Structure 1
Amino acid sequence: MSAVLTLNAGSSSLKFALYRAASEPEVLRSGQVENIGPVARLSLRGGAPREIGPADHVVAVRAIFTALEGALKGQQVEGVGHRIVHGGKAFGAPVELTEEVLAQLEALIPLAPLHQPNNLAAVRAAQAAFPDARQIGCFDTAFHRGHPFVNDAFALPRRFYDQGVRRYGFHGLSYDYIAGVLKRDWPELAQGRVVICHLGNGASMCAVAQGRSRGSTMGFSALDGLPMGTRCGQLDPGVLLYLMAQGMTHAQIEHMLYSESGLMGLSQISNDMRMLLQSEDPRAAEAIDYYVFRIRREMGAMAAVLNGLDGVVFTGGIGENAAPIRARVVEGMDFLGLRLDADANAASAVSVGAGAAKILVIKTDEERVIARAVAAALAA
């Protein structure tokens, strides 16, 4: 019996899931390695975390292999699927990660410096741990391919667009999964105009019409659009010119924009929305106010991209779990047909709307999208 392993690598974490290979993969075990660095911890779903000591992504993959040995009895890992944040112009669908492909993806590291190196480190670790398995890359940018020119281009000299300086959009694996759930469970809505709000430590929104991306709040990099846990979101480029003129280096600016901004930067308390909602510090309230304001502003923009709105989906860690944020985002948006059922929202029901446009809360599953792609590659 063949099995599929999925790896979703972040800067300090590595989510994994083991599936029985099939047209619709069956999950066998899942979990994550957290705090990659001096004192990493591995946890299987349903179990307590255990320390595995100092670990980089290579050590983390080895620890995952050891933890899954029992579940792998009688099964062979024939494919490993990887979340790759940036596919650039070249990659709009899952692809086998040959050395040639990996070289092209390494060239995209400057476009996603927080994610791409860790994604590729997990690939190298998986090649060593599972040398006979096929390695398949699945791209967060792929769902957004095919945008109209006006949604892709910046008003820069045309040569930069031709070189690949354009809006790519991200969180595509999450949007792909949600679009699939809508098609299965809400087919009429799936054929309409939907704004999907992926709200987590990374956050973006996507305008979807008839199941296809038409616009995204994220652009050339994973910095644009909404404020995030530690990333700034939309920023006047003049601010960067000013910071450079003040003597900040490229490395200092990059670190600030990716790691010291967003909810953390505004609050100076935490990037964790749960902590901010519980805090009585006025800076926490101001950070939340800004976060909600930007989501509401982009909701209007995404509705304009779609020429109307038939529904909204909240997903991601904050979107799925923070009922107060959902309530504040939707408040006063009757003009878009959005009205919340307060009781359903407080209970985090799937359907929480009470207006003309549907409002849904759907748990995303990026790993399943990756597993499907690997299973399809193995069956081809």
Structure 2
Amino acid sequence: MWCGSVTAIPDSVGSLISLTQLLINGSAIKELPISIGSLSYLKELSVGNCKDLSKLPDSIEGLASLVELQLDRTPITHLPDQVGALKMLRKLEMRNCKDLRFLPESIGSMLALTTLNFVGANISELPESIGMLENLIILRLNNCTQLCKLPSSIGNLKSLHHLWMEETAVTELPESFGMLSSLMILKMAKKPYIELSGNSMPNSTEFPTSFSNLCLLVELNARAWKLCGKIPDDFAKLSSLESLNLGYNNFFSLPSSLTGLFNLKRLLLPYCKELNLSMPGSKIPDWFSREVVRFSERKNLKIKGVIICVVVSLDLQIPDDLRDQLPIIADHRPIVSKLKDGYEISIIEHDPPIIKGLKLKKYGIHLVFEDDDDYDGDE
């Protein structure tokens, strides 16, 4: 490994019939000898970071015992069809193979595969045959920026536990996606869309109706997936969720059925600018101050947040086009970083109100300091 002056492997390597590992990472070889197919006991072949290795020989089909194949950061453009003969292969890694454009259909014949890693490859699609990999547990597709769609057969991956597909060009999940009955981790975040002057908002997307069938899903990161409108009520069927990131999306409400997510520990909703989180009720909890709050610095205790609770009424008989577009609480900006000793915090009602028919009935303010957010009551 890392013998940068080694430019060739001799044909005689095929005579090492008992060889189980061949690790030549970081060498300067340009090709593997055809005789490598004679290594029927070889279990691990690693040629990562071989910058001049652009293809594998067809004779690779002779590696009947191969369990791991590592081809990271090589200029390989494609895998030969003969790769499907590797019936014992469990792990195939091709991270940052920038020249890799497609995968052969024969990959579906590698039935022992448990891990596929194509992070950073330039493939535009996955072959339909990938659905035949019934033992696949981990599929990594992060930063495959040319990947535009997933095959409908992906729902056949009954053993798939982890799917990473962050920063891809996929904008729609196939209806079969909900058939991934073992899926536990789904990370498919995208870079947040930056709205520039003159640019129109990109098209919205929706999850397939079958998505709520993923009852074993523990973590979902769907940041910046252009989700608009309402999050469906049946989202609450994802009863195993512990972490949910829906930041940088454009939906305006969350369903009340989310109360059924009993295992949820982390809910991330940053930069959901259309959202107005509210709940029905008319009582301000006792731990809120009804008066103007004066901020006083506390020694060795940093302020962590300002919680504002308001009770408002809406006269729905008064028409107003802005009601569905603007949040009820306007001009609410992060203020923690601005607070200085002696500053006063209060709620101001616009007169006339920005939204017609809106009246402020009650309000309360609560400052949260470090170690001060563990409330023991039932509110």
**Structure 1-normalised TM-score?**
0.23
Which of the pair has the greater relative contact order for Cα pairs under 8 Å at 6+ separation?
1
**Structure 2-normalised TM-score?**
0.23
More helix by share: 1
